[in-house]
Amino acid sequence: MSSSIAIVGDRFMLPSVFAEKITAVCGNGVDIRLLEQPWPDEPMEHGYAGSKLDGLKEFMGDPDEVAEFIGDAALLVTHLAPISRSMLERLPNLKFIAVSRGGPVNIDMQATRDHGVIVVNTPGRNASAVAEFTIGAILAETRLIRSGHESLRGGEWRGDLYRADRTGRELGEMTVGIVGYGAIGTRVVKLLKAFGCKILVADPYVQLSAQDRNDGVEHVALADLLARADVISLHARVTSETAGFIDRAALAQVKPGALLVNTARGPLIDYKALFEVLSSGRLGGAMLDTFAVEPVPLDWPLLQLANVTLTPHIAGASLRTVTIAADRVAEEVRRYLAGEPPLNPC
């Protein structure tokens, strides 16, 4: 079986790290070639807002240039590089693709099935990083860390933030709702337990673990979670069912003064509706790390609101995320070359 491997990484998921991990488990007999893309210093394309490659989301690279680099390789390791149907028709030797992401959104999965190409991914690679970031985001808002920081940098000493009618609340007295109980959502639940807060989970496709049930976590419908939660944290994937599901109707059900946190994907939210409830004060605040269009436009209305914290899609950015993904990809490559079944087929 051919062991020619093309690796397309970037300045986060370094191709050299993938090569090192693959060589460590497969030996020096593999033929590896590397390509480094300029993300995150240059933005990727987001198919959520329309794409030149039908069906692909969040990818980087010109299809012709990527296909030329892959050439006659039998295996591809990629983070953001696209694989479309037309590309596969030019790559008859390609038999295996390892995507170092939680979902193969840069791959035309139906086309790979039609061409008999095996695709694997790395689910949960950044679960720890995103979960920790989510806890930090919640605390930055509930304990007024962000607002205190901004005012002090602007030359204003906000002693009034100690006033009983303005000061923050402790997580231990709050109800936190987790929407989506996958690798990240379950880890956020685990971290939240240390604060003693009431935890609600809304996810119609999974059941709570026995440990979470025993610890008092409640599995509820989304409408119940929206009405009861002081903090709502999104951890769902973007599907036809969830795209824009935090809309005007959903936000009308939210408990007045609640906080919305999104470290999942931007297209989950109707931003016009979100702007309205934040401007009116019905929603106490929002912390957003992901957006429907990235980078966000400089004149985006949400940038002007004082009760919003925005970060540039960095929740999953940690060095540990890189090594976890590279280790898992290397093991998948080893298994394929050894004729063993994949651990995480797509």
Q: Which amino acids are annotated catalytic?
A: 265, 294, 313
Q: Nearest Cα to 330, choosing from 93, 80, 27?
A: 27
Q: How many CB atoms lie within 10 A of CB 185?
A: 25
Q: Which contacts (CB < 8 Å, 24+ apart) does range 250-255 have?
A: 250/222, 250/226, 251/277, 251/282, 251/283, 253/223, 253/226, 253/227, 254/226, 254/227, 254/229, 254/282, 254/283, 255/226, 255/227, 255/228, 255/229, 255/230
- Check: CB of residue 277 under 8 Å from CB of residue 254: yes
| Cβ contact 26:3 at 8 Å | yes
Burial of 9 (0-12, 13-18, 19+ CB in 10 A): buried
The tokens for 91 are 């790559």
| Maximum C-alpha span of the chain | 70
